[in-house]
Structure 1
Amino acid sequence: MAAREPASLPEDPAARQRPRVETPPPHYWRRWTQDAKDEATTMASGKPPAGSDLPAKAKATATTAKGGPPEDAAESPYRILIVEDDRTQALFAQSVLHGAGMKAEVQMQPEGVIDAIQRFDPDLILMDLHMPGLDGMRLTSLIRQQPQFQLLPIVFLTGDPDPERQFEVLESGADDFLTKPIRPRHLIAAVSNRIQRTRAQLRQPAPQANAMLRSHPETGLATRGWLLQQVDQALQESTVGGLFFVEIASALGLRERYGYAAFERLMSQAGSCLARIGAPAPVARLNDNSFLTLMRDLDESGLDQHAQRLRAGLAEQAFTVRDEEQVQLRSAVGYTALSIGFEGAGPALEATERSALQARLHSEGVAAYVPPSDTEAQERMALLEGQLELAYQPIVAVAGNEQAQYQVLLRLRQPDGTLLSAGQVVPAAEASGRIADLDQQVMEHALDMIAQRNASGTPLRLFVSQSPRTLAREVFAEWLLQTIAARSIDGTSVVIDLRLGDALIHSVTLAEFCRRLMGAGVQFCLSQFEPGPEADALLNQLPLGYVRMAARFAGAHADAQLRDQLRGVIDQAHRLGLQVIGQQIEDPQAAAAMWMGGIDYIQGNLVHSVGTDLDFDFQNAVL
């Protein structure tokens, strides 16, 4: 791995001695703050502004007693992260901003930008357009995919005079662009004015902590929390009506084609359209491409008709994306009657989401939630009664590697001795609402095994599958981080498997979970991979380390078209720095085709069958 440049370039001592054409006076940055009138008093008294002794990062989290923005938000110097691979250009911008009393840090490696943002907590990013490996527009799209960075100002500094390219810059999610060469005074003013507006928004009083915000201030749609509160109330009052889950199709493809900013505008238009169709029922946006709406006082016989109306009305509307280009949106709508008797909004929401998954499989795109019968529920609960057992299968490097690593496979031993596979147990756990408990048990067993092997001097890496419903729980992420720390486990020894079908639906939730766990070194694998526009886009959007191909690719040796498709996926993954695993390899011909395609790892009965032992000899493995 090539050595990285330091995240922050030190100021050149000699540069301080050289006269500059424009040297702003001390505290020059205060010219753009609204409280600049207090500067004379502050300087005369010799006392620092209130809150100035707080760490820089505290301004992002500290709050006043009234729940407003941090008191030092308007006092601290502006903080700018300069993303520029040209050292001369970076030093120039950093010197100009330092001279204006701002704090500027340089990041020359695009791969380190997300970490630098989290550590430096900038008010604004000054982004170069052309950089090797990951250009500014792609990097901006990756930044915008992080929910906490969606409002962070990004200004491009580019010498590209092409108006079309400048338009593409804005479409990628940037707020503005500046053209090189730029005069220092212009750079200072452009950066400061943008930060001033952002800080002014942060100074707006926040709602009281105990008050539920009813509508989103920008879109006018209901907030997710408020709407779920209404669902709880409707269930307590035994109100008739229904809850509807609307999922926009091909969301990842739309985002990849039009960029983050255009995609967000499109989803905002879609939400407004749904609100008009279903008025006066409230509509809330759940995540990047799904909406929830509650229809009270509607007879259950009309629920299906209402779901059809939502889907048809959305499909008939032409949405303008950019210039004069228009698109029409497809969707799947799942719904449930409130009279089923859910214990709260959570189970009702899960039921509508499950029905939306069914709606994707129906030609009409609409499906109702059908609760399991008592017999079915008892059968599912009976499946979960037993002793958890884990089995393992080696994942072996084609080029040879001493790293011991295994796929963890769930098994459940029932009282009568019957051994159930994950394919039988997981659906039953999901249907009965016990999947989070099951996932946590599996993960805890895996972490215990890693800790035991570390203590014995035989470390290993385990690939562990988890449900997106489990990963969406805040308490699970906290538990996993605490458990890894308590057992002194190297996070890189844990790889969480994310199934492609789940990741396509829960991309935003999973991205947030991955971001939290990356700090501990935990890695992620996208399993059951099938190439396609949405799946290919997902490779860029999740912080993955591995891709496991779908089982059908094990037959690539007998199908030229499948073999070419496999090579295409492997090439794409390698360009993104990902390693590829071929699974269910049963014979030498299949292994040879994988090897010829450039696969990194294989697993299957050709290498070693599934078992309960962890004694495979990786050092002397010959494929």
Structure 2
Amino acid sequence: MSAIDSASRPQDEAPRQRLRAETPPARYWRRWVGDAALVDEPPAAPAVAVAASVPVAVSVPVPEVPEPAAASDRPATADIATAVAKPQRAAASRKSPAVPPPQSAPAPASAPSRADGGGGEKPDDQTPYRILVVEDDRGQALFAQSVLHGAGMQAEVQMQSDGVVAAIQRFKPDLVLMDLHMPGQDGMTLTMQIRQLPEYLHLPIVFLTGDPDPERQFEVLESGADDFLNKPIRPRHLIAAVSNRIQRARQRVLPTVPRAQAFNSDTGLPTRIAVLNQLSEALQQKAGGGLFFIEIASALSLRERFGYASFEQLINQAGRQLAQSAAPYPLARLNDNSFLMLARDMDEATLEEHAQRLREGLIQHPFQVRDHEPLNLRGAIGYTALSHGFPDTGSALEATERAVLQARLKPSNLAAFAPAQPSEDAPRISLEDGQFELAYQPIVAVAGSGQAQYQVLLRMRQQDGSLLPASQVIPAAETAGGIAQIDHWVLEHALFLLAERQAQGPSIRLFVSQSPRTLARESHAQWLLEALAERGIEGTSLVIDLRLADALIHSVTLRQFCQRLMPAGVQFCLSQFEPGPEADALLTQLPLGYLRVASRYASAHSDLALRDQLRGIIDRAHNAGLQVIGQQIEDPQAAAAMWMGGIDFIQGNLVQAVGSELGFDFHNAVL
């Protein structure tokens, strides 16, 4: 099938289109990247349909890669104030005649980092204050920017709610001046999203709004904001409020700069980077001891019950209590509800006993949250002995993450990592014999698009000529310890095709699955970055597929890998998605661009409950700015149910079966 009759679309097509995410703001995927644009760029012209068929079934060794054409330089993005200053200058001047007109305040090439709640380089007291103004009304935004510029501060405006996180990562502000009521996501929702990122836990956020409701002000503070200013506000009052807040924040940081690299200034705990560095040193020296991953249970319900600010206080209390139980060994906070403890040179026979002591210290200690009754926290603890010989910190973290997943299911909430034992029934894998092949299946936009994009599928041809699917090959390769070689082989061939097609004409986009064991390797991320730059491949043409089951276990290591690849433009897709508290949390914890629902939702047309669940998944994904893919679509009824649910892309035999050619006509394929 190359097209589905457009006459079969439902009558309410227009309302459905408003809910879709197939045409997001230009370069929307860069919202997680430090240099993300703050203004919408003009949409790119649709790609021409691919006519030629290119064989992609390949065997080892890897073919020599031709030198592709050099990628063109991307145009720089101007400050939003420059874009709107001319038509708005007169209006802004009437509002505040004594304030000079707004000027562009581009971010410096090297902005200070605020990772780890106190780690990284900090601005000195002489550096101009940097304020991000989040306001959808241009007149109000330019007024605030003009006032702040007139006081010698650097102010930048962000008018779109879906670009706030990207603007923060790029501009690195000292303070965010947030509007409450905005189209799309309101200020409270944005604040909660910002606070979910560990590096911005202590970034001052001040609301500036005309809402006089005292109850609403309380809700704003509960969402994680630091202060609340009422409109209209006098310029002098705005300047004083912003200056005092930033000055206090800098005074809190500056005295601890030498110590901040090793300790969090608020909790006193070692930073994650410091503990991971100690772990790396211990692995290199082949030291004994253990690594503990402590996960606080029911984090989502606790946050909903107490609010973000109180939840943070609760987790900080839990960290201090765990640190007392862990002493003299270092313990650091990893993310919202987990901690990492390194017990170097501890007798490995006592690891379980120490894990039990950590858990009991957490359960037996009463924690106070505001005026509520004291409560006790539960936790699951996964641990591993360092003597397993992990090659790097990512592998050790992966072992503890896998163990903590098992600990959740045990009455004791404790589990030790045990290396997988090879199975005698596992298929024999040999890279040298050239048994692997790649196949492709198109991923088609339901609203029509000229962008050619395929999912890469791994196959292994046996000696009798039959093909084993990836679902059998990957587990066997992980058990045999050869998954990193296979992942590298697949990605190498994908990059070869991307470079070849980019040099010949219209580019393609490939979705490539990778194992978390591979992504945890520091060398893999570095190799991929160098390969993209060396071959001039546009990063947006590559999407790394992350399986939900893997992401739930390896969320920390996967996020570290994603953060390294985001600046290059590489995007990420969470595959085999099914809803749940932990799965839903990943939509905001990982820098995703796409979501592929589990294959069972292909039968949503015959199951009302499944159909409602599918719509809920799509709505949550769209609210998080993600595009949704429906897979294994085999018949028109399944496609219609996906369309009614608001899906963005479909793939399956109804569109085209898996094959070894890249000749699908995307330009004429619509649902």
| TM-score class, shorter | 0.7 to 0.9
Please state if 1:10 is matched with 2:61: no
Tell me the CA shift for residue 401 of structure 1.
4.0
Find the aligned partners of 1:136 and 1:504 in 2 and give their Cα distance. Answer: 29
Residue aligning to 1:160: 211
Classify 1:278/1:88 alpha carbon distance in 2 versus 1 (closer, same or farther; 3 Å).
Answer: same
Equivalent in 141, 160, 178 of residue 127 of structure 1: 178
1:535 aligned residue: 583
Q: Is the 8 A contact 1:253 1:534 kept in 2?
A: no
Measured against aligned partners, the alpha-carbon deviations of 1:123-179 in whole angstroms (never above 9, x if no partner) come to 222111111111112222233344444433221112223333223323323222222
Q: How far did residue 258 of structure 1 move?
A: 5.2
Contact 1:68 1:205 in 2 (8 A): no
Equivalence for 1:91: 142
Q: Following superposition of structure 1 onto structure 2, how do residues 434-473 of structure 1 map, counting pairs within 5 Å?
A: 435-457=483-505, 459-472=507-520
Give 1:191 shift: 0.9
**Correspondent of 1:105 among 153, 156, 169:** 156
* Matched residue, 2:232: 181
The answer to whether the aligner puts 1:136 opposite 2:184 as a matched pair is no
- Tell me the SS of whatever aligns to 1:566: helix
C-alpha distance 476-337 of structure 1, shift in aligned 2 (>3 A): closer
Answer whether contact 1:311 1:332 (CA < 8 A) is retained. yes
Change (3 A) 1:203 1:366: closer
- CA deviation string 1:383-430 (max 9, x = no partner): 666534222122233444443321111234567867443233433554
Query: In 2, are the aligned partners of 1:511 and 1:543 still within 8 Å (CA)?
Result: yes
* Cα pair 1:250 1:534 within 8 Å, conserved: no
Distance 1:532 1:194 in 2: 39
**Of residues 463, 470, 473 in structure 2, which corresponds to 1:422?**
470
Tell me which residue corresponds to 1:287.
335
Paired residues of 2:444 and 2:670 also in contact (CA < 8 A): no
Is this contact kept in 2: 1:471–1:510, CA < 8 A? yes
506, 515, 526: which one pairs with 2:574? 526
- Is 2:539 the partner of 1:491? yes
The equivalent residue for 1:389 is 437
Assess, with a 3 A threshold, how the Cα gap between structure 1 residues 450 and 127 changes in structure 2: closer, same or farther.
Answer: same
Distance 1:327 1:403, change over 3 A: farther
How big is the shift at 1:620? 5.1
Hey, what's the Cα distance between the residues in 2 that align with 1:201 and 1:455? 52
Task: Name the SS for the 1:303 alignment partner.
Answer: helix
Is 1:410 paired with 2:410?
Answer: no
Q: 1:618 to 1:219 in 2, by over 3 A?
A: same
1:559 and 2:611 are equivalent in the alignment: no
Code of the residue aligned with 2:592 in structure 1: it is L
Post-superposition Cα deviations, 1:474-520, rounded to whole Å, max 9, x if no partner, equal 55444434433443333332222222233344445545654554554
Q: CA RMSD in A?
A: 4.0
For the residue of structure 2 that corresponds to 1:204, the secondary structure is helix
Contact 1:377–1:432 under 8 Å retained in 2 = no
Which residue of 56, 60, 75 maps to 2:112? 60
Post-superposition CA distance 1:288-331 (Å, at most 9, x none): 33223344676655433443443344344454445427665443
Decide whether aligned partners of structure 1 residues 510 and 117 sit closer, same or farther in structure 2, where only a CA change above 3 A counts: same
SS at 2:633's partner residue? coil
> Could you tell me whether the CA contact under 8 Å between 2:395 and 2:520 is conserved in 1?
no
**Structure 1 residue 259 displacement after superposition:** 5.2
Task: Go from structure 1 to structure 2 and tell me whether the alpha carbon gap of 1:196 and 1:611 turns closer, same or farther (over 3 Å shift).
Answer: same
Matched residue count? 585
Cα distance in structure 2, aligned partners of 1:16 and 1:618: 47
Indicate if the aligned counterparts of 1:7 and 1:116 stay in contact, CA closer than 8 A: no
- Looking at structure 2, the residues matched to 135 and 597 of structure 1 have their Cα atoms a distance apart, in angstroms, of 25
Per-residue CA shift, 1:418-454, capped at 9, x if unaligned? 7443233433554566544443332221122122233
Aligned equivalents of 2:261, 2:157: Cα separation in 1: 38
* Aligned-partner Cα distance in 1 for 2:288–2:567: 46
Flag structure 1 segments of 5+ consecutive residues without an equivalent. 25-53
Shift of 1:528: 0.9
Whole-angstrom CA distance in 1 between matches of 2:561 and 2:568: 12
In the alignment, the residues of structure 1 paired with residue 666 and residue 149 of structure 2 have an alpha-carbon distance, to the nearest angstrom, of 54
Deviation at 1:188, TM superposition (A): 1.1
Between 1:453-462 and 1:442-451, the stretch displaced more is 453-462
Residue of structure 1 equivalent to 2:247 = 196
The more displaced of 275-284 and 225-234 is: 225-234
- Deviation string 1:336-387 (CA, Å, 9 cap, x unpaired) is 33455556766544433332233234344322222345x6699799566653
Change over 3 Å in CA distance of 1:227–1:110 after alignment to 2: closer
Q: 1:275 to 1:377 in 2, by over 3 A?
A: farther
Contact 1:380 1:432 in 2 (8 A): no
Q: Which residue, out of 631, 637, 644, partners 1:583?
A: 631
Q: 8 Å contact 1:253–1:533 — kept in the other structure?
A: no
Higher relative contact order (CA 8 A, sep 6+): 2
By how many angstroms is 1:542 displaced?
Answer: 3.9
Conserved? CA contact 2:441–2:455, under 8 Å: yes
Q: In the aligned structure 1, how far is the partner of 2:665 from the partner of 2:96?
A: 66
**Residues 195 and 226 from structure 1, CA distance in 2 versus in 1: closer, same or farther, beyond 3 angstroms?**
closer
| Alpha carbons of structure 1 residues 347 and 402: separation in structure 2 relative to 1, 3 Å | closer
- How high is the TM-score relative to the length of structure 1? 0.80
Percentage identity across aligned positions? 65
SS state at 2:382 partner: strand
Alignment match of 1:265 (pick from 304, 313, 319) = 313
Q: Which residue of 2 aligns with 1:43?
A: none
Aligned residue runs from structure 1 range 367-382, under 5 A: 367-372=415-420
The change in CA–CA distance for 1:555 and 1:471 in structure 2 (over 3 A counts) is same
Measured after TM superposition, the shift of residue 574 of structure 1 is 3.9
Q: Does the 8 Å CA contact 2:394/2:557 hold for their aligned counterparts?
A: no
Helix, strand or coil at the partner of 2:255: coil
Alpha-carbon distance in structure 2 between the residues aligned to 1:319 and 1:59: 38
Change beyond 3 A, Cα 1:462–1:129: same
* Structure-1 separation of matches of 2:580 and 2:231: 39
Please give the per-residue CA displacement for 1:519-561, whole angstroms capped at 9, x wherever unaligned.
Answer: 5443332211112233334334444332211122122233221
User: What SS does structure 2 have at the residue aligned with 1:143?
Assistant: helix
Distance 1:202 1:605, change over 3 A: same
Q: Is the 8 A contact 1:466 1:496 kept in 2?
A: yes
Residues 324-343 of structure 1 mapped to structure 2, 5 A cutoff? 324=372, 328-340=376-388
Is the Cα contact below 8 Å between 1:386 and 1:413 reproduced in 2?
no
Indicate the structure (1 or 2) with the bigger Cα radius of gyration: 1
TM-score by length of 2: 0.75
